[in-house]
Structure 1
């Protein structure tokens, strides 16, 4: 059962009671088989779809656990997802820094970076998720985050963005990704696509301190055209690149980053951090 999207009620309207938290902790137990966990999650989603208003590590989120992985993690664990990635990025954030978040989802990176003092450009292609992102930014009283609603790719275009209702944060422009391991109830919605160079021109950016790219197998088509066409002065000092969908890339980002003097300075199960060394 789909949750009702509410971006108008004030934060704190929806409380997550103990039973809700316990149910979602059960649905998130990784000692259970994947198939059993999926069945439990479907039942819990039906009964406790949300929304719920929660604070995690001092940040406020209105979450919809039935339809987003990050939301489920916040509710089940009481903390932000991608904790290891945040630790890797934190030394590069702070006052006067610019963080560009491609694939911003509900804002777990953007709001974290903004709280650290960085100016943030949050780019999100899915209109449904972008509405949640904007609410979470307002709930935290942040004025240093700007949201751009577009997909990012090699050229101006209109493309199908594939959505799966149990995890809207896993929206993808790569149709091949919707089968096999990630097979589900996928459906397309058409979205505008812009190159990152066009976005940086529109926003009159003169530098990027940290760039995060997490777009479910489309990372190469976001990053490589930018590095090939942008002025070198605009190359990010630090890049956080999601690599868990690397088999769906059409070009290898890692070799090109190495050729452009980027060095790996951190790695997690799903992401790699690169720093420009020359």
Structure 2
């Protein structure tokens, strides 16, 4: 594990982890320019005003959690992460930055319903672990599954308390979203890794249509300026892309 100071934050990470650790080592961040573009775009359309809660689903080692708090745009973070090693590093990163009282770590996977599923480990990529219904031999461990709706309810939070929901769960996004219908119905800003190649054509179309029923605009996320378009003008993605709904 390596700890480096990047000016406005410190980050503990495994420099041999591919791609997150190696990217941080080489470039100083993990998709931070994209994250800053997202915040700027939401501010431009009046969707980020007073600091609210950042909900980080599939938080991994906490890169976006730390960037969110360092930005000043959020009062605190709820970080959902099922992998024990990642959650420990996330906690370390919160401590390194003095954010330990502002980061609420939920050590579980986010799904459509409460229960237990399996986390199939990726031995070279800490962000590549996948939640599945069946174990994959010695690389799988059972993990607790919670709904995002239950996480908010247990903390007596309203969906309006959230400023941005960030979901990157390696193909399990539709299940995570199914467990947060009140959040979607309130059209809380949502940035999601849309893994069309995992969902398949039919599920991709159904998933995108569900989100399109509740959000007015959306944009493909990039390192350049993000341009929102009316949701009716967008087609279901056929490849993996990060999409910002607002």
Higher relative contact order (CA 8 A, sep 6+): 2
1:95 and 1:68 map into 2 onto residues whose CA distance is 36
Please, what is the CA RMSD of the aligned residues? 2.5
Which residues in structure 2 correspond to 1:1-278 (within 5 Å)?
51-56=1-6, 58-90=8-40, 91=43, 96-117=51-72, 118=74, 119-142=76-99, 143-174=101-132, 187-206=139-158, 207=160, 208-227=162-181, 230=182, 235-243=186-194, 245-249=195-199, 250=203, 252-268=206-222, 270-275=241-246
Q: Name the residue aligned to 2:237.
A: none
Q: Is the 8 A contact 2:187 2:215 kept in 1?
A: no
Please identify which structure carries the higher strand content.
2
1:67 and 1:190 map into 2 onto residues whose CA distance is 23
- Normalised by the length of structure 2, the TM-score is 0.78
How far is the alpha carbon of 1:68 from its aligned partner?
4.8
2:219 and 2:22 map into 1 onto residues whose CA distance is 29
Aligned residues: 214
Indicate the structure (1 or 2) with the bigger Cα radius of gyration. Answer: 1
Q: 1:95 to 1:271 in 2, by over 3 A?
A: same
Counterpart secondary structure, 2:56:
strand
Q: Deviations for 1:59-106, whole angstroms, at most 9, x for unmatched residues? A: 211111223522111102223334223321343557522111101111
1:68 and 1:93 map into 2 onto residues whose CA distance is 32
1:133 and 1:94 map into 2 onto residues whose CA distance is 26
